[in-house]
Structure 1
């Protein structure tokens, strides 16, 4: 009994010591170091830092809808808008290029770790390089071109479903969630949305749990003694997702053994399974790595594409002139035929519209890096373990970069390309990141958006429903808080 109480005391003492170091000493040291260089922020509160104020800011902002303004930064990130000043693009470029390995991605923990695991988005070093090489092969060049027919088929399924809907109003955010989920399933994992529906539902629930706990503080180690309902539910979901992923992999392997497939395939799942069986230890990945990579591309592959499509349709719905221009281009390139790879490359106006949509409503609104060791950045000396938050949404809306019309939808600013629009300032526009960790799925998501938009424009004109409430918010990506209701009229 004495040994039990002693062990419990040591466990509690250790947890308290770790908590004090993490939640008091480290923040205090960092704040004092930065204040000595003239960089000051809101005062840090013991244990919960500034999370209560952040939650208060976000709750207040989410309770007030906007008019149809694109000045969304104060609503989506009210705490960043209130507490920060100007940003220097050159310093941002130095951090994200990370040439000296001084600014790695921070380690993920808690609910985000359960959601993404140790996939491509979160890892560093040799493991990241191995994963990146696999992903580059799967989502570029001929591999990407081979995915386009599956994208077209998935959009056809959505449009067929629309024919059977009653009335002209469609909640497109929900529709695009289904569409992009099916596309990532078919193209990357060889399964239809019906087969992967359970996985997406579990991922959706886990995403909501991660989102609502993003600014909640838990004492380190306390979960070993007592778990919240969200922690218990997230563990159940994590295990369920793993089991479902392994079942899809098992079915693929059984089809090969039965002779129904010649090999494991060259889609992303096939490449991962092959890597897990590789005789070359430097290329081999574990089953856990395989599952984490699948989770990463399931969640990232449909979240980014979904929000990109949603906000682009929103912008075209309230700007019928640009909708007409996009439709003219699509009909000129494709007529009434399905999109093809050569034609997709010719959609210049569509590309301008998508870039402007990504500028105003980027799917990911901020990037996080960690200071690995004491480092000089510009005129500042940054202490080790400091987190750097780079709000690309703020830079995308900065009048000093984009001019006085920064809050307006003007696709023509991209008429001569991104470099011309940003005056060759790489850190002015980076909806999919910057540097070596630029999103590997950028070309995939763009092709997906161009195909879906082209096929919609061939068949419908559309406008915003009076039921729509403009309330952009940040979940995992920039999402319409109350959905996006659009009225469609068949051509």
Structure 2
């Protein structure tokens, strides 16, 4: 008995020592090794601080920046990423130097050169999505974070729903939502002919309603409830992110964690019931509906049918090429969040910039009226005939990309990018904003609002060196970019038909980056009925 006890004690000691060594290596030895590797390559950054890295200093500077609005300028990186901006402008860094920061014990290299960003986006197997922290994982599951065969499967299944002929079927639902919003604005200005309105919350509601209708069609009320819950969940995630690097914090019975669990427990049954109803209807012979869920179910069913027909051939498992029920739920959640966020922020910044630049607002309105008159804009006209409006939207997305930076991690033991050798597991942050404001590509007026730079297309605007990434680039380019662009152009066209607008004296210019680039204090404009 004593021998067994001694053996058990030795085994326990070995397990504890192994665990302690792993902890020491992960939280100190490996970070210091990576730091040495990065410094040897000439990268500039702070020395690693145990466990927290740069998080405390970064959080302090960000809080200070959020308390300080800036003049109306399109040079706002110092406000959304003050800590990174500070290192970039350090005299030691020098022009064009790459830097690194610490997200806890993980170093992240900032890449600002357009050619390196494009190269990395094209090499999706070398630069994979970073591991999500416990909170963003709740929101960001689905296609954008899958890799390998799973990513290829989902991209293939989702592609049919985002082809132009399918998008055309979803546009009437969005048009209805725009009309509802404009009717509300008409009531606001009905007495005096003009009124101050913060359009940011209106666009958030508009695009949320539009996505709910486009995703679930006739089940709009259920879709609207799901959107409200996802918005609540998104706000919770933002408030809890600062705790996400505390091991095990997600499992503590805090108020925020309890609310997160409650919203998730309500969302899943709603989506489950919707999907079950549609599947049963299709199995009973009903034609798929012309909304995202209907197209997704149809695409999934077609793939399953092909597997059954070719069963004697390749013997592929159905799960290898079709979506599971859980994956469908994630796809629907993603469509809500990504679609709503991208369109609402793009519309908001477009309104702000057109309110500031009245000459471009006038030109855009003249084009819309010449194309559609007072009739509701049609899909083909919005997609093919609005040249000036399209250049304006491109320029808005250049100066205010919905996602100003995106992250990857080096997947292989050593990954080459330009002159850099990036060790496995090191994070890489690609600054879309720096690429969009690079004077070597865009000229000395890179930080000015000049839509005419896109008059001959994106390739001409970038001098053939593509540095325009509002929807990413390469194989993982946003699947919904065409849908977002059509929605923004249609909404702007309908607004320009009925209203002129200018910036309100109460407008405060304060871009801030949460999950997307938002106006921290809203988007206050004065609407005038035409």
Task: Identify whether the pair has TM-score above 0.5, normalized to the shorter chain.
Answer: yes
Measured against aligned partners, the alpha-carbon deviations of 1:136-168 in whole angstroms (never above 9, x if no partner) come to 210122111222222222211111222233661
CA distance in 2, matches of 1:158, 1:58: 34
- 8 Å contact from structure 2 (residues 200, 344) kept in 1: yes
Give, in angstroms, the shift of residue 276 of structure 1.
5.8
C-alpha distance in 2 between matches for 1:133 and 1:276: 10
Residue 171 (structure 2) pairs with residue 131 (structure 1) = no
d(CA) in 2 for partners of 1:414, 1:178: 30
Further displaced range: 63-72 or 206-215: 206-215
For residues 27-62 of structure 1, the C-alpha deviation after alignment (integer angstroms, 9 at most, x for no partner) is 322211111111121222111111111111211111
Q: 1:28 to 1:39 in 2, by over 3 A?
A: same
Please tell me whether the aligned partners of residues 275 and 283 of structure 1 are also in contact (alpha carbons under 8 angstroms).
Answer: no
User: How has the CA–CA distance of structure 1 residues 230 and 19 changed in structure 2, closer, same or farther, with 3 Å as cutoff?
Assistant: farther
The corresponding residue for 1:401 is: 441
Counterpart residue number, 2:327: 289
Provide closer, same or farther for how the CA distance between residues 24 and 269 of structure 1 changes in structure 2, counting only shifts above 3 A: farther
| 1:190–1:25 CA distance, 2 compared to 1 (3 A) | farther
Q: Name which of 183, 202, 211 aligns with 1:160.
A: 183
Please name the residue that 2:264 is paired with: 238
2:115 counterpart (90, 115, 131): 90
- Check the 8 A contact 1:54/1:215 in 2, yes or no: no
How large is the RMSD of aligned CA atoms in angstroms?
A: 2.5
Unaligned runs of at least 5 residues, structure 2: 89-94, 97-111, 308-317
Distance apart, 1:185 and its partner CA: 1.5
With over 3 angstroms needed to count, the CA separation of the structure-2 counterparts of 1:171 and 1:44, relative to structure 1, is: same
Corresponding position: 1:314 with 2:352 = yes
The answer as to 2:221 corresponding to 1:197 is no
Mark the CA change 1:159 to 1:384 in structure 2 (over 3 Å): closer, same or farther. Answer: same
Is there any run of 5+ residues in structure 1 with no aligned partner, and where?
none
Shift of 1:470: 1.0
> What pairs with 1:373-384 in structure 2 (closer than 5 Å)?
373=412, 374-384=414-424
| Equivalences, count | 481
Q: Quick one: which of 32, 37, 55 aligns to 2:41?
A: 37
Cα separation, 2, equivalents of 1:92 and 1:204? 31
CA contact (8 A) 1:58 1:79 kept: yes
TM-score, length-scaled by structure 2: 0.85
- State the Cα deviation string for residues 144-200 of structure 1 (Å, max 9, x = none): 122222222221111122223366122211111111111112123225654323222
Output one character per residue of 1:244-300: Cα deviation in whole Å (capped at 9) or x when no partner: 21132234345557x7x8233353212333466635313221111011111111100
Taking the aligned partners of 1:207 and 1:17, their CA distance within structure 2 comes to 37
Residues 302-341 of structure 1 mapped to structure 2, 5 A cutoff: 302-341=340-379
Distance 1:40 1:459, change over 3 A: same
TM-score norm. by structure 1 comes to: 0.91
SS at match of 1:381: strand
Return the match for 2:295 from 265, 271, 282. Answer: 271
